């Protein structure tokens, strides 16, 4: 396992982090299975576990808490808030009112008195940066969180939050968690340069592109990944974006074979090679998945292999741009890009 410093925090973390989204109903993972995955990950040197309140409506946090019983200090424990946690209008977002409540709920489910990294799961357009950062700073001063970060923020919002923290003398986000993989390279255009500029640690999610880079998806095979069951449109190869992904996967598989690597090693080695990336978040559902991921922990891709990847999927290119979660609201809602006349 390679270890890197998490941004400017001084905290040392492994180049692979264990994501717990699949713990529970989402990944059909039992408590015993989740605990076994945590056991194996810690034994292999992984020291970051990342979850969120909305994963299984709190189920993932509860399972992580039970798996870590008696060894909480062995890990950098990260969770997230801001996504809807109920039907109530105020059971979501980045307001002080909700974040204080959401954190207390997360601590209770995890069975701990603090988390090491508390992340805002998505930028909340309805809440000002000062409001959110003020609440997070107070929670940090109260000892309930050690650091706080953002997740899937557009680059301009990362910059704005850094400015707001300085302007109002508040704590700042020290990490960003963007989606990043060989097939979704848009983060290279704006987000990763901004995180480098501000010294943020980067925990990259979906480095296997929702299973497209797992080695299980190939031309002529039926796609049966766990994601395909509840996101069929993302794997329908009749759609142009998915056809482009499959074509790229075939070329990447040939490259991996030529380099003597598995597809997982190629995919994770690519993500962790970027100088802005601190760690790639893996989300195994089974011990077999975890073993395949761990085999990539020390993979270092040569310049020739990285150049060949660039020739298959160009730097900064998203093969499925419609699946991004950091698109500015005005590109999604026509009313936000048109001047209103009185």
Pairing of strands 12-14, 3-5: antiparallel
User: What does the alpha-carbon distance between residue 121 and residue 81 come to, in Å, rounded to a whole number?
Assistant: 5
- CATH, range 3-334: 3.20.20.100
pLDDT range class, residue 22, cuts 50, 70, 90 = very high
Percent of the chain past pLDDT 70, that is, above it, reads 97
pLDDT digits (tens, 9 = 90+) for 95-139: 999 999 999 999 999 999 999 999 999 999 999 999 999 999 999
Helix/strand/coil for 162 = helix
Mean pLDDT of 214-243: 78
Asked if the model's pLDDT at residue 17 lies above 90, the reply is: yes
pLDDT digits (tens, 9 = 90+) for 239-260: 999 999 999 999 999 999 999 9
pLDDT range class, residue 322, cuts 50, 70, 90 = confident
Asked if the model's pLDDT at residue 310 lies above 80, the reply is: yes
| pLDDT at residue 230 in the model | 61
pLDDT range class, residue 62, cuts 50, 70, 90 = very high
User: What does the alpha-carbon distance between residue 300 and residue 305 come to, in Å, rounded to a whole number?
Assistant: 10
What's 41-72 look like in SS3? HHHCCCCEEECCCCHHHHHHHHHHHHHCCCCH
User: What does the alpha-carbon distance between residue 196 and residue 171 come to, in Å, rounded to a whole number?
Assistant: 18
Q: Any idea what DSSP says for residue 339?
A: P
| pLDDT at residue 228 in the model | 56
| pLDDT at residue 171 in the model | 98
| pLDDT at residue 83 in the model | 97
Mean pLDDT of 283-302: 94
More confident residue, 17 or 220: 17
Mean pLDDT of 218-246: 78
| Residue closest to 276 by CA, chosen among 182, 203, 174 | 203
pLDDT digits (tens, 9 = 90+) for 155-170: 999 999 999 999 999 9
Q: Any idea what DSSP says for residue 121?
A: S
pTM above 0.85, yes or no: yes
| pLDDT at residue 19 in the model | 98
| pLDDT at residue 332 in the model | 79
Long-range contacts of 238-245 (CB under 8 A, 24+ apart): 241/319, 241/320, 241/322, 242/320, 244/319, 245/183, 245/209, 245/212, 245/319, 245/320
Catalytically annotated residues = 55
Mean of all residue pLDDT scores within the chain: 94
| Rg for the chain, CA atoms, rounded | 20
Asked if the model's pLDDT at residue 229 lies above 60, the reply is: no
Q: Any idea what DSSP says for residue 179?
A: B
More confident residue, 236 or 13: 13
Asked if the model's pLDDT at residue 226 lies above 80, the reply is: no
pLDDT range class, residue 46, cuts 50, 70, 90 = very high
């Amino acid at each position: 396992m390679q270890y890197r410093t998490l941004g400017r925090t001084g905290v040392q973390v492994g180049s692979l982090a264990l994501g717990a989204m699949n713990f529970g109903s989402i990944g059909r993972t039992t408590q015993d299975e989740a605990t076994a995955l945590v056991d194996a990950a810690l034994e292999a040197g992984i020291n970051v576990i990342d979850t969120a309140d909305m994963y299984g409506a709190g189920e993932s946090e509860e399972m992580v808490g039970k798996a870590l019983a008696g060894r909480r200090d062995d890990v950098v424990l990260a969770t997230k808030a801001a996504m809807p946690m109920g039907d109530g209008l105020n059971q979501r977002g980045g307001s002080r009112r909700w974040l204080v409540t959401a954190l207390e709920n997360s601590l209770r489910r995890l069975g701990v008195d603090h988390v090491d990294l508390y992340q805002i799961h998505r930028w909340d357009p309805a809440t000002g940066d000062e409001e959110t950062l003020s609440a997070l700073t107070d929670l940090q001063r109260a000892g309930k969180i050690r650091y706080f970060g953002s997740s899937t923020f557009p680059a301009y919002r990362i910059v704005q939050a850094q400015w707001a923290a300085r302007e109002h003398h508040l704590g700042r986000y020290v990490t960003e968690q963007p989606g990043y993989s060989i097939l979704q390279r848009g983060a290279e255009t704006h987000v990763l340069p901004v995180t480098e500029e501000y010294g943020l640690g980067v925990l990259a999610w979906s480095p296997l592109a929702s299973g497209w880079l797992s080695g299980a998806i190939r031309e002529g095979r039926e796609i049966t990944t766990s994601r395909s069951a509840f996101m069929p449109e993302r794997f329908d190869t009749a759609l142009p974006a998915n056809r482009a992904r499959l074509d790229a996967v075939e070329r990447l598989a040939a490259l991996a074979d030529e380099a003597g690597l598995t597809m997982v090693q190629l995919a994770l080695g690519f993500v962790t090679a970027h100088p802005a990336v601190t760690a790639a978040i893996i989300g195994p559902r089974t011990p077999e998945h975890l073993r395949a991921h761990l085999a990539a922990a020390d993979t270092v891709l040569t310049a020739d292999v990285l150049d060949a990847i660039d020739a298959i999927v160009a730097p900064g290119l998203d093969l499925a741009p419609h699946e991004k979660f950091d698109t500015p609201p005005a590109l999604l809602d026509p009313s936000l890009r048109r001047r209103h006349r009185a």
